[in-house]
Structure 1
Amino acid sequence: MNKLQREHVVCDLRGSCKQEKKLCRTLPQISGLTNRQIQVLKLIGRGLLNKEIAAELGISLLTVISHTKNIRDRKNLFRKSDLALYAQQLNLIGEDQTLHTRL
């Protein structure tokens, strides 16, 4: 019978992390999204428009639309409000970061 071997993972938070000695997975691993898609999703969750997201991230409007479409396809989320709720489920936005209201 094989013995379980400990795996050493290099982490900048080692020794100061609240989750010390627990299995740690990164948000891209959990969500299946790329880092950029996560950034876009976070800004959607904050209520930004696509053109505002593009300006914030320094990318084109078409790139934002492409990332949003890819997120929707991967997660079967169809409305922008569904994307915002998903961002909240992933703790990308807190309760204090309520959606913008537009006049």
Structure 2
Amino acid sequence: MEWFMLVAAGLCEVAGVMGLNLWNERRNAASLTLLLAGFAASFLLLTLAMRSISMGTAYAIWTAIGTIGATLVGMIFYGESREPRRIFFLALVVGSAVGLRFIGEG
């Protein structure tokens, strides 16, 4: 259950970053709500996940999900670069997060 919460926390962080980007484009209630709700939910779920997942592992995976998610949103919706080297390094982040999950806490 904690791993589900950790993944959900990372996805909520992506929603918060999307809200931040929307807030920069047009300052309205919807973008501010997405920004605040996304980050608040993200921190709450991260806190709950860290009850049984070590801080270092939880933080690394949370930031990896946020980084990868925000980058993919940028590529898909905002025309950011899809250069192969960029995708390669994102794959390294994914590999690192998966590796942390499978090597365990000990």
Above 0.5 in TM-score?
no
Larger radius of gyration: 1
TM-score by length of 1: 0.30
TM-score by length of 2: 0.30
